[in-house]
Amino acid sequence: MATPRSRVRDDESSSQRRTRPVATVAVPFPAVVARPIIAHVRPQIDCGRRPAKASLGDLLNVEADAFVEGHDLVCCELRFRHDDDVKWTSMPMRELGNDRWRAMMPIDRLGRYRFIVRASVDRFGTWRRDLRARINAGQDVAEEFLVGAQLIQDASRHAKANERRRLAEIAEMLRSSDAVASPRETTGDDASDAQHVVFSEWLGDAMSSLSGSSHHVSSETYFVWADPTKARFSTWYELFPRSAAPSPRRHGTFADVEARLDYVESMGFDVLYLPPIHPIGRSGRKGRDGAVTSGPDDPGSPWAIGSRDGGHTSIHPELGSLEDFRSLVRAAGARGIDVALDLAFQASPDHPWVSEHPGWFHQLPGGSIRYAENPPKRYEDIYPLNFEGLEWRALWHELLEVVRFWIAQGVTVFRVDNPHTKPFEFWEWLLASVRAERPEIIFLAEAFTRPRVMEHLAKIGFTQSYTYFSWRSSKWEIETYVRELTQTDMADYFRPNFWPNTPDILTSELQHGVRATFMARLVLAATLSASYGIYGPTFELQETAPRAEGSEEYLHSEKYEIRTWDVKDPSNLSGFISMVNAIRREHAALQFNDRLVLHPVDNDHLVAFSKTRAGVDHDDIVVVIVNVDYVYPQSGWVALDLQQLGIDPSLPYVMHDLLTDAHYVWNGSRNFVRLDPDGLPCHIFALEQPVEQWKKKP
Amino acid sequence: MATPRSRVRDDESSSQRRTRPVATVAVPFPAVVARPIIAHVRPQIDCGRRPAKASLGDLLNVEADAFVEGHDLVCCELRFRHDDDVKWTSMPMRELGNDRWRAMMPIDRLGRYRFIVRASVDRFGTWRRDLRARINAGQDVAEEFLVGAQLIQDASRHAKANERRRLAEIAEMLRSSDAVASPRETTGDDASDAQHVVFSEWLGDAMSSLSGSSHHVSSETYFVWADPTKARFSTWYELFPRSAAPSPRRHGTFADVEARLDYVESMGFDVLYLPPIHPIGRSGRKGRDGAVTSGPDDPGSPWAIGSRDGGHTSIHPELGSLEDFRSLVRAAGARGIDVALDLAFQASPDHPWVSEHPGWFHQLPGGSIRYAENPPKRYEDIYPLNFEGLEWRALWHELLEVVRFWIAQGVTVFRVDNPHTKPFEFWEWLLASVRAERPEIIFLAEAFTRPRVMEHLAKIGFTQSYTYFSWRSSKWEIETYVRELTQTDMADYFRPNFWPNTPDILTSELQHGVRATFMARLVLAATLSASYGIYGPTFELQETAPRAEGSEEYLHSEKYEIRTWDVKDPSNLSGFISMVNAIRREHAALQFNDRLVLHPVDNDHLVAFSKTRAGVDHDDIVVVIVNVDYVYPQSGWVALDLQQLGIDPSLPYVMHDLLTDAHYVWNGSRNFVRLDPDGLPCHIFALEQPVEQWKKKP
């Protein structure tokens, strides 16, 4: 039993409450009760502080959580615009389940896009869904029709005249007594006229277009930078121009490189990257195999940039003239090949900058300039630049001018040497400055360093990045790394470029490699990553000798001497490389990384993965299986994830080996494979369902 | 050969560049080149928009990536302050490897903390590291000493007089010619005096304290809300006061509940949660087992709040008076038990609000008020409130006053009924309003709904949350769910409260359960989660009968009728529960969720996991193994992850079963267990290394 006191106390407080002004509340009321919550929008880099990356022709997957309390339905739309657009474009997002929504944003111009996700409560849709449930349960819906009439009338205020008239008629109809006959079915012939109208598509569309103008909630604004297609899909070949001469020991020229374009084109490469082409310093010049002292005929490292012949905007005299270089760029361009230059922002002690701008370097107290070093190691042929010295603005500006100079010569792709040893702020500024003028320029970051540093360089604007692929040899290493690159948010900003070798990296695996090793590493690079490259002709000629045991340097490295290559040698892998690159061009699945799936094989030497691209009448599905044991044949059962591939597991399908043109009929998920390194160490399959099956698809 | 033209072109452009003003650069230079990057700070909820959760006594794990280009060393510190503090507190962060840094932030007051991570380049430390490498390599370091002298002199400007004098002396010493003798060792007796000073701890400390005042980079500011300890570690018991009478069919009172406190205390619970204690409406009252019509003696659902006897601040007359309630709160408090009330923000049609404030409800066009419903289901005994109606501000204020009223009666813990059916904005406002006055108040969200909605309620301020634990039965389900709760960012804001049963949830597993089922589900709840609760006495008396096949409702549910319970029944699990709760109190490891590790067992019916808490002389390690097959004995090999537990795998260790007091000596990772549901379906081990081993620890 309640005592009188209790009730009196309650009444007192209750009356006090009613007279107490609302202003006693310390925390202010929200301005409106704007109900949907939008969260976890992707792509989103560093909480939206940096743009995600996309490329021309992409359909960018934009997703968000959008939800509201209770059981009300939500509408969700993507709104986006390019910097050049005046108006926003809207497109509906589709619910994926679990309050997740998605839209595919078309990227059709270079430069910056912005997007927001917008959500609102779908009051009419909710009412209609509930009405259907009530009618189907045989409930009296007379009052519900009045509720609906009110919703329609409210919305009609925002409608154009014709539509407003029609909506008013419908609202009136719902208010009339005829409307309320309540058969158990909402659609059949016995449904009332009012029900036919209420559940009509016209009314649904009209109401949802009108509701857009009422309360909605918007996400933050996020940005996307659209690069050219080659930013996503590119095939790189690196060569030293000075070794391009056909005859032994002559210094190669741009004309020699031009003569080699047919060879590069025949292999299917579309970027030709040249190490620095500038005058090479004499002071501290390294000898062969990196010797501390050099002989008079040693050409020195191309990265020791600058001599009395000039610096970063000059050309090493023995390579030819600027006009020769332009001719090479033009000839390459005619073949669809971009010539990529190396941006190595450092100087030989003989660089003109050293005397003209000593303040651009690290000056020691005694007045001398600090060599490049990683104590106690010293690189006497190179002075690093001081990006934080008193004259940093002039230096940065000069470096921007260097980039502008080469862009003016037709260069659109740059490989950036060791960006991780220069300030992030510098790159962010430089890349933004270049892109403000020329959004199509591509920068590949050559940063082999700690993961967070490599990631950050990609975030601040590098188009592509070298990776750890070179050292990922075992199945576990390859799978773990590829998962990290493609299934974390790295996929939104870090575009991997896989290199089996570089002039600095002859891996232990390649040193001990056989022909199958080179074939398999090439196929892994070319199919795991939409962008990859090789340093040739060392790669296709399968150079394996290191400078010393335990070193990753090549013996007789082109970094320090001129080599001559016999690309006509019958052991050359160029034919195989041509095939692989042709497959890349023909199969869109290999030109993206976003739908890479790793498939289990019951053999730790066999790596299996697929890539998929949606097509007009069927998906392009490429399945790659590689034997990473380069000595022994390996066999096992591949368990394809048919659900992820969208394949009906009850029907057989054809695996078309694109390297051998063989066709295999596979059944279900598990199928047997055997790969012998004496033959081909890999399959590159196109998964082709029989035509009958495609017809069955809706 | 370079043509003259090429060189001329370069010279031209080069001279043009030098005369062109820097202002032609479109993208502005950064203000300073502030080098370290700080990223991925945790805890961080929705990009810092919401506070993370902590509780009194925590050492909150704050982490961040901090790194700089190149090879320079970085210093990283955590700075934090409570809202009541005037000054920030700083503490150094420790590098974990891979550019990740950590500090443990002590939480010793209720309310809001803020923190930032601050990083700077450690120029002196970098110089000293490089100097050591140079000296060890036998290089001439004369000029390096001059560089160091300059660093020391620059820093000395910020020093106090004494320190400044000493630093000036050191700089002078380094500049003197004596300093440059360069033995190969930096520490031995033959190191020079200058070297002794350079590598001295005093100088390192002085330089690092002075460098703090120079360039540093700060993260965004992040917030942490500190709750009382019970927010993290709590043990809940729910009972219906009206069923608390010892004699059959009499309506229980607060005095009866008070008499049952000894029982509740003996089992070791510290929160006693009562379903709504307010007057119950008559209109639409549900009968027994939720029947649509009720007889005159049916008491109705306590959630149908409000009658002529009052509403949310009144007490159901048959339970007693407000003074009786206060007495119960005091008596419970004396035992360390908090009485938790139910905030069910809805009304019976007889609630005073209905006549006084019809605008607080959903009014239909005909003037009537909409019942609670989930079409076509209807709940005729309940009117939902309209949180978005024209009078929403007055309604919200009234609801805040309800909470304030009960806080004034001594209530500090609330269980909130169905928060997911009210706007998020309302809860965010209400919880912030209450916490602004009383930061110690605890709110448990009873939202059994979609994952994103449950997560968002936790983000906007609910202290604890009901979970899906009730339905996670198999080993795979349990492990997957626990991983999600403890190993994603949910751990930073979502505090799970595990309930094996509630008045609404008699799971299929319990319906078919035996004694071992109840024991195992209790142990899983009590050890997987630092907060858990049971709905009693149904639980400890092992009620299994559902209202109907396929229903999760209890037969003869207390929601609709008064029950009488014989807690002295010999089958009562209260003794077992007492033991489990005593173990929870004695083992700090079980009072946190942050160091939960799942361990493999080669039997899918055996779940094994551990929790660890660092102690003064040894870690508290609890290992729990549960047989989730409640019919058959199950055995298998547990593979403890000894590295994660910090156990030397080469030494035996003692597993002390805290339920049976048995001691087992285990060796290495893999050990055999067998659990028979006829006896105990679980082990709760304390992992106790022999004393000799603890002595060996550093």
pLDDT at A189: 53
Burial status of residue A205 (CB atoms within 10 A of its CB: 0-12, 13-18, 19 or more): exposed
Residue A69 touches partner B, C-beta closer than 8 Å: yes
pLDDT at residue A594 in the model: 94
> What are the chain B neighbours of A127 within 8 Å (beta carbons)?
none
SS3 B378: strand
Q: Which pLDDT belongs to residue B193?
A: 79
User: Can you tell me the distance from the alpha carbon of B313 to that of B316, in angstroms, rounded to the nearest whole number?
Assistant: 10
Report ipTM (2 d.p.): 0.90
pLDDT band at B698 (very low <50, low <70, confident <90, very high): very low
Query: Is B84 among the residues known to form the active site?
Result: no
**pLDDT tens column, B638-657:** 999 999 999 999 999 999 99
φ and ψ at residue A180, rounded to 5 degrees: -85, 0
Q: Does B473 touch chain A (CB under 8 A)?
A: no
Q: What is the DSSP letter of B288?
A: G
The distance of A629 to chain B (nearest Cα, Å) reads 31
Predicted confidence (pLDDT) at residue B405 exceeds the cutoff of 60? yes
**Which of A29, A134, A394 is the closest to B429 by Cβ?**
A29
pLDDT in tens, B209-218: 887 556 789 9
Query: Residue B2 is nearest to which of A20, A48, A309, comparing CB atoms?
Result: A309
Contact (CB<8Å) B27/A425: no
SS3 assignment, position A502: strand
- C-alpha distance from B570 to closest chain A C-alpha (Å): 33
Helices (runs of H) and strands (runs of E) counted in chain B:
20, 30
pLDDT tens for residues B428-442? 999 999 999 999 999
| CA distances for B506 relative to A183, B242, B471, B548, angstroms | 37, 20, 10, 11
Backbone angles phi, psi at A509, to 5 degrees: -60, -45
Distance CA B649, CA B689 (A): 11
pLDDT on residue A188 = 53
**The predicted structure's pLDDT at residue A17:** 42
B97 in A contact zone (CB under 8 Å): no
Token readout for A256 is 């020699």
Query: Does residue B219 have a pLDDT over 50?
Result: yes
Report mean pLDDT in 10-residue bins for chain A, 698 residues. Answer: 37 42 66 86 95 96 96 94 96 96 97 96 93 92 91 90 92 78 51 84 88 78 98 98 90 97 98 98 95 94 97 98 98 98 98 97 91 88 94 96 98 98 96 96 97 97 98 98 97 98 97 97 98 98 96 97 95 98 98 97 98 89 97 97 93 95 94 96 92 50
Q: Residue B695's pLDDT band (boundaries 50, 70, 90)?
A: very low
DSSP symbol at A244:
-
Which residues of chain A are within 8 Å of residue B34 when distances are taken between CB atoms? Answer: 425
Cα–Cα distance measured from residue A53 to residue A112, given in angstroms and rounded to the nearest whole number: 10
From residue B684, alpha-carbon distances to A153, B265, B575 in Å are: 65, 22, 16
pLDDT one-digit tens code per residue, B125-147 = 999 999 999 999 999 888 999 99
| Spatial separation of the C-alpha atoms in residues A176 and A142, rounded to whole Å | 9
Q: Which residues pair with B191 in a beta bridge?
A: none
- For A179-182, the CB contacts below 8 A with 24+ separation are A179/A142, A179/A145, A180/A140, A180/A141, A180/A142, A180/A145, A182/A135, A182/A138, A182/A139, A182/A140, A182/A141
The closest CB to that of B27, out of A318, A429, A450, belongs to: A429
Q: Which residue has the higher pLDDT, A140 or B361?
A: B361
| Residues A397-430: b if buried by 16+ CB within 10 A, e if exposed | bbbbbbbbbbbebebbbbbbbbbbbbbbbbbbbb
- The CA distances from residue B374 to B11, B239, B377, B386, B421, in Å, are 80, 28, 5, 15, 11
* Secondary structure percentages of chain B, helix, strand, coil, to 5: 35, 25, 40
Q: CA nearest A100 in B: which residue?
A: B452
The residue among A206 and B184 whose pLDDT is bigger is A206
**pTM of this prediction?**
0.91
B2 and A376: CB-CB below 8 Å? Answer: no
Higher pLDDT, B465 or A651: B465
Contact B423 A71 (CB under 8 A): no
Residue pair A226/A56 in contact by the 8 Å Cβ criterion: yes
How many C-beta neighbours within 10 Å does residue B513 have? 21
What is the pLDDT averaged over residues B529-553? Answer: 97
Residue A695 in contact with partner chain B when CB distance is under 8 A: no
| pLDDT value, residue B182 | 47
* Alpha helical stretches, state H, A268-383: 322-334, 352-356
The SS3 of residue B671 is strand
**Side-chain-side CA neighbours of residue B169 (13 Å):** 9
Whether chain B has a CB inside 8 Å of the CB on A33: the answer is yes
Is the bond preceding residue A21 a cis peptide, omega within 30 degrees? no
pLDDT at B233: 98
Q: Do B418 and B427 touch, CB atoms closer than 8 A?
A: no
Share of chain B above pLDDT 90, in %: 82
pLDDT digits (tens, 9 = 90+) for B580-631: 999 999 999 999 999 999 999 999 999 999 999 998 788 999 999 999 999 9
% of chain B beyond a pLDDT of 70: 92
Q: Which helix (DSSP H) or strand (DSSP E) does residue B666 occupy?
A: strand B663-666
Cis peptide before B275 (omega within 30 of 0): no
Ranges of beta strands (E only) in A243-386 are: 271-273, 338-343, 346-347, 372-374, 377-379, 383-384
DSSP state of B593: S
Is the per-residue pLDDT at B21 higher than 50?
Answer: no
d(CA B454, CA B499): 16
Report yes or no: B368 at the A interface, CB cutoff 8 Å: yes
Q: Token pair of A122, please?
A: 């779908």
